[in-house]
């Protein structure tokens, strides 16, 4: 699958609410077939960016274009998009099946095609057995999955998921991850906003770090880690405390525990092995997106 052609292209987006600039000059391309993550704390401007990409908000500056030059503000051109908003956008007094069916009809699906798509969407999110139950009786995780099913019933080329795992238990979260992975495997383009770095690490091909309405960095996980994550750490539990200093650059020793900060993990491990010292254990700690965010903003993502 080619991951080069942009399906959604945003250029110089600015959105202001009074004196607050929610999105500040953000430019980003969502390539066909990729899963692009927008990672940032609450209030970073992720949802506003998605709203502009969906054509629900007019940017004060900048443009959003869909593949072929279409403007998402035009209802007809945004049929290629499907979205699962952060708020559960469902009718509690309709059944799961009726919810999907209703949103399907709004995209022009009718008759057998509609019935088939509703069934597929229900099976995709694992809610087929509960299809006749009213949505109000669903658990938080089930409701989130139904939210996703409503977004994909019309088989959009791109799915925009805004914080899809908020308030979801670990089991349902895993099911949602699997759903997103299946969408990716099926060639769908995905724009995924989250403030959980684990999700971005697991699901996204590229990640954009957003804070205060600005995009601070964009790249693959490895690119971000290597550019902004700092050095990896190799920790070695020596069998005996050494009686002489260890001559490895960046090494610090605390009793029998040796810790080495390094940019080249493989070389460091080889150096330890060649030093002739016996050790009981060895652990390599890679930099994380948390470190990337800390490095870029001076704040921890988890503090938000």
Q: Which residue's CB is nearer to another protein, number 176 or number 301?
A: 176
Cβ neighbors of 288 (< 8 A, separation 6 or more) are 197, 201, 225, 229
The reply to whether 89 sits near another protein by the rule CB under 8 A is yes
The reply to whether 153 sits near another protein by the rule CB under 8 A is no
**Residue 108: exposure state from Cβ atoms within 10 A (0-12, 13-18, ≥19):** exposed
Instruction: Please state whether beta strands 189-194 and 35-39 pair in parallel, antiparallel, or not at all (unpaired).
Output: parallel
Q: What is the closest distance, in whole angstroms, from the C-beta atom of residue 19 to another protein in the complex?
A: 16
- Stretch binding another protein (CB under 8 A), from 81-89, 202-210, 228-236, 281-289: 81-89
b/e for 122-133, b at 16 or more Cβ within 10 A?
bebbebeebbee
Nearest to 289 by CA among 236, 235, 216: 216
Sheet of strand 251-254, all strands in order from the earlier edge strand to the far edge: 251-254, 257-262, 232-238, 279-285
Using the rule CB under 8 A, which residue among 7, 10, 44, 83 binds another protein? 83
The reply to whether 105 sits near another protein by the rule CB under 8 A is yes
Nearest to 190 by CA among 212, 164, 222, 217: 164
Using the rule CB under 8 A, which residue among 11, 79, 275, 297 binds another protein? 79
The reply to whether 242 sits near another protein by the rule CB under 8 A is no
Q: Which residue's CB is nearer to another protein, number 161 or number 207?
A: 161
Q: Which residue's CB is nearer to another protein, number 93 or number 247?
A: 93
Using the rule CB under 8 A, which residue among 40, 85, 96, 291 binds another protein? 85
- Stretch binding another protein (CB under 8 A), from 99-107, 120-128, 169-177, 249-257: 99-107
Instruction: Please state whether beta strands 214-219 and 232-238 pair in parallel, antiparallel, or not at all (unpaired).
Output: unpaired
Q: What is the closest distance, in whole angstroms, from the C-beta atom of residue 294 to another protein in the complex?
A: 33
In the complex, the residues that contact another protein under the rule CB under 8 A are: 54, 56-58, 75-76, 78-79, 81, 83, 85, 87-91, 93-94, 98, 102-103, 105-108, 150
């Amino acid at each position: 699958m080619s991951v080069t052609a942009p399906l959604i292209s945003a250029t110089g987006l600015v959105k202001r609410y009074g004196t607050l600039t929610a999105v500040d000059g953000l430019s980003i391309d969502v390539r066909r077939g990729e899963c692009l993550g927008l990672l940032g704390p609450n209030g970073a401007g992720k949802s506003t960016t998605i709203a502009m990409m969906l054509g629900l908000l007019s940017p004060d500056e900048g443009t959003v274009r869909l593949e072929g030059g279409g403007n998402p503000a035009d209802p007809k051109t945004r049929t290629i998009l499907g979205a699962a908003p952060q708020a559960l956008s469902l009718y509690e007094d309709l059944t799961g099946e009726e919810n999907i069916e209703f949103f399907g009809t709004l995209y022009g699906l009718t008759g057998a095609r509609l019935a088939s798509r509703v069934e597929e969407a229900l099976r995709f999110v694992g809610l087929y057995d509960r299809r006749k139950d009213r949505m109000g009786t669903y658990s938080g995780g089930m409701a989130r999955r139904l939210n996703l099913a409503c977004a994909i019933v019309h088989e959009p080329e791109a799915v925009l998921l805004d914080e899809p795992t908020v308030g979801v238990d670990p089991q349902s979260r895993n099911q949602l991850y699997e759903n997103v992975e299946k969408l990716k495997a099926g060639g769908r383009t995905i724009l995924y906003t989250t403030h959980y770095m684990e999700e971005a690490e697991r699901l996204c091909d590229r990640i954009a770090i957003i804070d205060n309405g600005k995009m601070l960095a964009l790249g693959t996980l490895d690119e971000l880690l290597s550019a902004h994550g700092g050095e990896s750490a190799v920790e070695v539990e020596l069998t005996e405390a050494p009686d002489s200093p260890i001559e490895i650059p960046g090494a610090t020793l605390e009793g029998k525990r040796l810790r080495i900060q390094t940019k080249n993990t493989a070389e460091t491990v080889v150096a330890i092995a060649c030093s002739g010292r016996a050790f009981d254990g060895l652990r390599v700690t890679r930099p994380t997106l948390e470190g990337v965010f800390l490095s870029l903003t001076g704040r921890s993502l988890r503090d938000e």
